[in-house]
Homo-oligomer: A and B are copies of this chain.
Amino acid sequence: MLSSRIGILGGGQLGLMLLQAAIDWNLDIHILDPDAEAPCRKIAPKFTQGSLQDYDTVYEFGKDLDVITIEIEKVNVEALEALEKEGKLIYPQPSVIRKIQDKRIQKQFYLEKQLPTADFVLTENREDVRNFIDFLPAFHKLGRDGYDGRGVQRVSSEAEIDKAFDQPGLLEKAVPFEKELAVIVARNPSGEIKCFPTVEMVFHPELNLVEYLFAPAEISDEIDQKAQEIARKTAESFEIVGLLAVELFLTADGEVLINEVAPRPHNSGHHTIRANATSQYEQHWRAILDLPLGSTAAYAPSAMVNLLGEDGFEGPAVYEGMEKLLATEQVFPFLYWKAITKPFRKMGHITIMDNNIAALKEKVDFVKKSIRVISGDPHK
């Protein structure tokens, strides 16, 4: 399996970290991405520029490969299904991608499999939302193409219904949650399953992006077990091969509900590169190549801070304060090979480790105020 010709649909930062992990095993990786300046461009042994959503492009890319995986869900599933029929290994399976691509199908799947999730109703368009006024406050979510905080809109009351999307979506009851958690699960074709330790995500109040993350989550053993159990059961229900990132709500009364899932490496697992025996990226390779899964044990408590482009700056990226970070023990910046910064663009992340939780949190504060991605002349 290690000598397979492997394709990744998508050459963004997740692809880049998959590539970095693949170096250890001399994996033969081919990348498809529409952007000539994609993060993977310079590092990928083979890079094809092309649309991920065009049937012919995806089919042509895959037809001489053995194993195909994704780092983004928004891909042409029909082409992957055709390749699967020809005997290619497509992991995650097209059937899984199809279910997850559409949040409406995803949510119905949870109901069907008796997996806990917030109450919801399907809506066909903006007008339709008016039929569920007693369901508010709620989040209106686009069925398809939502990503990274896009495609989700809070609708608190009738007066806000004009904020709802005018496309097929779903209205999900706003759950008064205490915490947002995430568990990344890996499953290989032999059915072996391993979960990474539960993490706690802290969201940016306005941008709906993970601002930082703690691992392990500060929760009781009981809640932790519940979260791990749900994540495992979700991966089993999908029968996924590869990684499944399961985002969860912990409610005030100790309920754990699935928010949504992603069938690939995830923002909530970047810290595993530094902090865990096996990273989520290596684990993904193990899973899809039908190898034994690696230990997910953590070496120390850790945190992860997303490094976003500073508001008000657009142009060649300059990383202000990197040296300060590198002068702090066990602070590990990772940059995403994006030449151009834009306001709130994900430009990198920083993993922070410390055996002492209080010291860890102090380091997080220090990191957040020490580094900025602005535009300027990188060579100055």
Closest to A380 in B: B3
One of B20, B25, B323, B378 near A3 (C-beta < 8 A): B378
A26 at the interface (CB under 8 A from B): yes
Known pairs A24-B333, A26-B337, A292-B323. 13 more at Cβ < 8 A? A16-B23, A20-B20, A20-B24, A23-B337, A24-B335, A25-B335, A26-B335, A43-B43, A277-B330, A286-B326, A291-B326, A295-B330, A299-B299
Q: How far is the CA of A245 from the CA of B286 in the complex (A)?
A: 33
Tell me which residues from 9 to 50 in chain A have a Cβ below 8 Å from any Cβ of chain B. 16, 19-20, 23-26, 42-43, 45
A322 at the interface (CB under 8 A from B): yes
Q: Answer whether residue A55 sits at the interface, using C-beta atoms and an 8 A cutoff.
A: no
A323 touches B291 (CB 8 A): yes
Task: Tell yes or no: A379 within 8 A of B by CB.
Answer: yes
* Interface contact A292-B326, CB-CB below 8 Å: yes
A290 to B, closest residue via Cβ:
B323
A334-B24 in contact (CB<8A):
yes
Chain A interface main SS type: loop
Considering the complex, which residues of chain A in the window 336-352 have a beta carbon less than 8 Å from any beta carbon of chain B?
336-337
The reply to whether B23 and A43 form a contact with Cβ atoms under 8 Å apart is: yes
Assign chain A's interface to a size class: 35 or more
Cα A240 to Cα B3 with chains together (Å): 41
A357 within 8 Å of B by Cβ? no
Q: Within 8 Å CB of A326, what residues of B? A: 286, 291-292, 294
- How distant is the Cα of A309 from the Cα of B294 in the complex, in angstroms? 26
Residues A24 and B327 in contact in the complex (CB < 8 Å), given A2-B319, A299-B299: no
Indicate which residue in B2, B20, B327, B330 contacts A23 across the interface (CB closer than 8 Å).
B20
Contacts of A16 in B (CB 8 A): 23
